[in-house]
Structure 1
Amino acid sequence: MSIPIYIIDDEPSILHALQQLLAMEGYQVEVFGDARDALKKLDRDWSGVILSDINMPELDGVAFLREALAVDPEFSVVMLTGHGDISTAVESMRLGAYDFIEKPFSNEHILDVLKRAGEKRALVLENRALKDELDAQTGAGPRLLGNTQKIKALRRLLMQIKDIPADVLIRGETGSGKDLVARFLHYNSHRKNENFVAINCGAIPETMIESELFGFEAGAFTSAQKKRIGKIEHANGGTFFLDEIESMPMALQIKLLRVLEDRRIEPLGSNRHVDLDIRVIAAAKIDLLELVDKGEFREDLFYRLNVINVEIPPLRERKEDISLLFQHFAALASSRFNTDAPRLTNDQLVRLKQHNWPGNIRELRNAAERFVLMGGQTVFDDPTGDEQATHTTLAQKVAQYEKDMLEAALKEYDGRLVDVQHQLGLPRKTLYDKMRKYGLVKDDFKLS
């Protein structure tokens, strides 16, 4: 097993014996003679078990337990106690320790307790991740729809970093949802009641972008008739989103770097400083490091922005989500246009999945809107000329088409295999074999 174990004891002989025992069992073991050193390494996402002695100088076991549980009240902490410390061990259980082990102990007993403590910690973190994912999908504000592993991993990452006071750099292709991810971070964070201010660096003329960002005092330049608050100051307390950061002029990059480092701005024509409490999120559709290498983007600004990096997967890498996303956008369009959304046929669904979607989510949303407006007719191009198709073998194309047809039929009939057999003209055993081949489970397609 790969569970990490922290052992805390001021007796070197006990540390050495326990380290040898647990290392032989496959645990990742780290030992500490001083509980304060172990505390420095703990955070809420740590996945291991703590084995701590009670009687220690400096910081004793009970004091350590209190401080550790202040970091995460659901840590699995097992206390080691001598015969005379039973009352203290019981007190530690009341405070939140997982269990206590009395010295001398047998190897079998301590291994059993640590195994159960590790399983409990794993369950705590799993439930916490599931809750975060559920909150991410059902909470107020923007939602990141999808059930593929890549989009689930993205949601988990965003929920982990939503309140971390660090700037974020989002990387994603055109139309992949960079603005949505930035808004998701804002509206799931403690800043959600403050302003979310977005600016597209590629959409504002170079002559205007500095005054848009920093604002200006009346008389700062010829056309400045009255004072104007800049976008950065307007975002104070909330989130400032810089889209297409790669388009920002080099001269302005220097000023932005100073803002990020000093957390204050000076409006044009003013000597006053405005202190800032903002989170800055920048987004780029190309690799900024390539621009750095070409001398077209400041290296120091890149590393200042890239404290936390978020990569958005392109739609072609999460094709299992296409049906869900398309139906979601079609439902929104039918509501907006006050009309019924046509039902996708199996062939149309297959074509959706075969398309390469160079425009990503934006292209899919537009296709769903056209589908609704045009009654489902002549919406999808023939996918045979798709760029991606030229890079796959005939066997791969056939397998993908077969899997798509099976998924479409299973969805249409809510996992009822008798109806799927009839629709596709397959014997029962052949259908079962093909479902097993493609990892399809009928229960995944049943209506909840």
Structure 2
Amino acid sequence: MTDTHVIRVLVVDDDKAMRVSLLDLLDAAGFEAESLPRADQVADKLIDFAPDVIVSDVRMPGMSGLDLLASMSDQNAPPLVLISAHGDIPTAVKAMQDGAYSFVEKPYEPRRLLTILRHAADQYRLRLGTERLKARLAELSGLDRVFLGRTDDMVMLREDILNVSASDAPLLLLGETGTGKELVARALHDLGPRADGPFVVINCATLSVDTFERDMIGVKGGPAGQIAAASGGTLFLDEIGACPMQVQAMLLRVIDQREITPLGAPSPVALDLRVVSATNESPDEAVAEGRFRRDLLFRINAVTLNIPSLRDRRDDVAFLFTHFVAQYAQIYEVTPPEMTPEDIAALLAHDWPGNVRELRNVAERRVLAARRGLGSVTQALRADHAFDDVPNTLREAVASFERELISKAIKAHEGRMDAVAEALGIGRRTLNEKIVKLGLNKDEIL
């Protein structure tokens, strides 16, 4: 993504003719430029003009160009390009060692000077962007830690979650796969009056007419069905658009009547729960095509929240990636790899069809490669990225990988399982199932 911000250049030279010449060149090249005759005036100008790069003569009365370089110790100071008719190799070497971006002799070659200034400005903006990312990560709190991002859509989403969390009204979440619909549903539950109750997730794509009553409603004298298990808390109906039509009718009765009758039970059992549903397709189109019941849609969408896709908030991409890399670096006990200009360019050029979930996976692959001193974002974006030292069979490889990842996440988050699930990008229930399946013992890990 190309930055359309006009490059700002500050020219510092005691020679008026040289200042005018440089200003004319910069103006003709589309730069925004201002000039000063003395280096000791630069500090005030940095505040008023905020240049992306400074061009300064070396030899000037009072404060020289080398003195100006020495005074700019702040890591957020713009790069300095020194220019002088008296330049020699020792001066140039000393200037570069002291932090000058480049050194140009008079008479300068205009095209070369402009190229140097463009490159200096680009690197300066990337450096400032990285510092801003770090500052934003440091100030995160509350909902910001779950729903990262500062785009208008994400700010509005967080406000909407806070506004509707206290309500019991049925709520429908709309968003593409990987945007974090379950995280939003859990946040609504955790922030609402039912936070102490259960949060039950049902994947509607797996429901069938034959097993609905037994698994969802329950059997008298047997274990409670999943819907009954949500009483007192929140029932999250994920992928409700994929629910078979006959099952939709069964769900409609449950939601409408707020009661269930377990198989073999003589009377119905009242339900006290909030229903939150989610789909990755347009429910209106599904109704129009006859794939979804209009009356069920009316029951579940008293409130609707739209979760933006990652490509619609590209300004958050680098920030999110930095956050996930830091998380996985902690889990895998490695130093987070530094982001290069090429890495940022690759992140911004990608379309992110898998949204935040895909971004999280790319960050993990980047950290795994960094464990071996290898890798880049471009390589991590490749779906066929291979890892060394894996077991012989796919089943063994997956189990070994999950066992190591979950164990390190439990250690990193000191056994706080909600935080572990969030860091791994899975639901709490899924995490519990994997822990049992893999034979992990939290106490032994800690």
- Report the AA paired with residue 272 of structure 1: S
CA distance in 2, matches of 1:197, 1:358: 28
Change (3 A) 1:277 1:343: same
1:363 and 2:358 aligned: yes
Once the 2 structures are TM-superposed, how far is the Cα of residue 209 of structure 1 from its aligned partner?
3.8
Contact 1:257-1:301 at 8 Å conserved across structures = yes
Contact 2:213-2:262 at 8 Å conserved across structures = no
- Report the AA paired with residue 280 of structure 1: V
Once the 2 structures are TM-superposed, how far is the Cα of residue 211 of structure 1 from its aligned partner?
2.4
Give the one of 269, 275, 286 matched to 2:264. 269
Question: Which residue is equivalent to 2:425?
Answer: none
TM-score by structure 1 length?
A: 0.51
TM-score by structure 2 length?
A: 0.51
CA distance in 2, matches of 1:144, 1:349: 21
Question: Which residue is equivalent to 1:172?
Answer: 175
CA distance in 1, matches of 2:350, 2:213: 41
Change (3 A) 1:205 1:336: farther
Once the 2 structures are TM-superposed, how far is the Cα of residue 235 of structure 1 from its aligned partner?
0.9
Question: Which residue is equivalent to 2:247?
Answer: 252
CA distance in 1, matches of 2:291, 2:233: 29
- Report the AA paired with residue 344 of structure 2: L
SS in 2 for 1:166: coil
CA distance in 2, matches of 1:381, 1:374: 9
CA distance in 2, matches of 1:141, 1:183: 14
1:331 and 2:316 aligned: no
Count, aligned residues: 241
Give the one of 314, 320, 336 matched to 2:315. 320
CA distance in 2, matches of 1:210, 1:171: 27
Contact 1:210-1:252 at 8 Å conserved across structures = no
- Report the AA paired with residue 159 of structure 2: R
SS in 2 for 1:192: coil
* Structure 1: gaps of 5 or more residues: 1-135, 219-226, 384-448
Question: Which residue is equivalent to 2:408?
Answer: none
Change (3 A) 1:204 1:251: closer
Change (3 A) 1:261 1:206: closer
CA distance in 1, matches of 2:213, 2:340: 51
1:215 and 2:218 aligned: yes
SS in 1 for 2:195: coil
The equivalences for 1:22-61 within 5 A come to none
Q: Which runs of 4+ in 1 moved over 4 A?
A: none
Question: Which residue is equivalent to 2:293?
Answer: 298
Once the 2 structures are TM-superposed, how far is the Cα of residue 178 of structure 1 from its aligned partner?
0.6
Change (3 A) 1:299 1:176: same
Once the 2 structures are TM-superposed, how far is the Cα of residue 207 of structure 1 from its aligned partner?
3.5
The equivalences for 1:145-294 within 5 A come to 145-204=148-207, 207-218=210-221, 227-294=222-289
Once the 2 structures are TM-superposed, how far is the Cα of residue 165 of structure 1 from its aligned partner?
1.6
Task: Supply the RMSD in Å over aligned alpha carbons.
Answer: 2.3
* Structure 2: gaps of 5 or more residues: 1-138, 382-446
Contact 2:363-2:380 at 8 Å conserved across structures = no
How big is each residue's C-alpha offset from its partner over 1:19-47, in whole Å with a ceiling of 9 and x where there is no partner? xxxxxxxxxxxxxxxxxxxxxxxxxxxxx
Change (3 A) 1:152 1:270: same
Q: Percent identity?
A: 40
Contact 1:216-1:228 at 8 Å conserved across structures = yes
- Report the AA paired with residue 168 of structure 1: L
SS in 1 for 2:276: strand
